Amino acid sequence: EMAAVRELRELATAVLDRRGGNRYGAIVPVSEVLLLLSDPIAWGELLSLSGLDR
């Protein structure tokens, strides 16, 4: 697995954990990262966690 994909999955997991939406109990799959793309608020949280929102 590419490091960038793994990092996106970990960030998405953190966002979903904060929102109470991580139904996997572990690092979420790539499909959940793609779902976050459709939610501007959640995607903004992910960018904020990564430091890329600046």
Domain layout of the chain by residue ranges: 3-50
- The predicted-structure confidence for 7-25, as pLDDT tens digits, reads as follows 999 999 999 999 998 999 9
pLDDT in the model for residue 54:
61
pLDDT, averaged across the chain: 90
Q: Write out the DSSP string of 31-51.
A: HHHHHHHT-HHHHHHHHHHHT
Tokens of 53: 């929102």
Q: Is the distance from CB of 37 to CB of 13 less than 8 angstroms? A: no
